[in-house]
């Protein structure tokens, strides 16, 4: 779990509408940290969450999702932050389903979870994928 890195990611958020900053750090097996932060838009539905941005950044930079070790997500939430349904679907397609995902908040609450727990029986078009 990398709370301080997730906080650094969170500081990059662009949230003029909700003022709710979220940070995600995707940590690779070699120790590399990839940051993601939420980016909002005046056309609200175009907002993109921290988890998704982190994962898309990782792939865009040429890293391999197979090298992901763990993910830490942080927000100023009452309990550990919980990814939205859309992010669960994206995570489910792109990361191994047993990858540790640490849901945290600024108070220090932590809940360790995984795609298997966050999105059981999720949609999967390609039955040949091996990341489950």
Instruction: Rule CB under 6 A: say whether 38 interacts with ligand THU.
Output: yes
Q: Could you tell me the CA-to-CA distances from 6 to 15, 120, 124, 128, 130 in Å, in that order?
A: 16, 26, 29, 33, 28
CA distance 85 to 6: 20
Interface size with ligand THU, residues (CB under 6 A): 14
What is the C-alpha to C-alpha distance for residues 47 and 58, in angstroms, rounded to an integer? 19
Interface positions, 40-79, toward ligand THU (CB under 6 A): 40, 47, 49-51
Catalytic residue among 40, 51, 112, 117: 51
Active site annotation includes 51 = yes
| 22 near ligand THU, judged by CB under 6 A | yes
Considering the complex, what minimum distance in angstroms separates the CB of residue 127 from ligand THU? 28
Per the CB < 8 A criterion, the answer to whether 103 and 110 are in contact is yes
Instruction: Find the shortest distance in angstroms from Cβ 41 to ligand THU.
Output: 9
Structure tokens at 128: 């040949």
Look at the alpha carbons of 12, 42, 79, 71 in this order and tell me if their dihedral is positive or negative.
negative
Compose the 81-100 pattern: x for residues touching ligand THU by CB under 6 A, - for all others: x-xx--x-------------
- Give the active site residues: 51
Sites of contact with ligand THU (CB under 6 A)? 15, 18, 20, 22, 38, 40, 47, 49-51, 81, 83-84, 87
């Amino acid at each position: 779990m990398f709370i301080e890195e997730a906080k650094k990611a969170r500081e990059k958020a662009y949230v003029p509408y909700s003022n709710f900053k979220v940070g995600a750090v995707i940590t690779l097996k070699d120790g590399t940290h990839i940051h993601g932060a939420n980016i909002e838009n005046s056309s609200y539905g175009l907002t993109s969450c921290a988890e998704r941005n982190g994962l898309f950044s990782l792939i865009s930079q040429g890293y391999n999702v197979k090298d992901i070790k763990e993910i830490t997500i942080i927000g100023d939430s009452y309990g550990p932050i919980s990814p939205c349904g859309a992010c669960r679907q994206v995570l489910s397609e792109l990361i191994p389903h047993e990858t540790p995902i640490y849901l945290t908040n600024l108070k220090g609450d932590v809940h360790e979870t995984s795609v298997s727990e966050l999105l059981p029986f999720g949609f999967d078009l390609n039955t040949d994928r091996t990341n489950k």
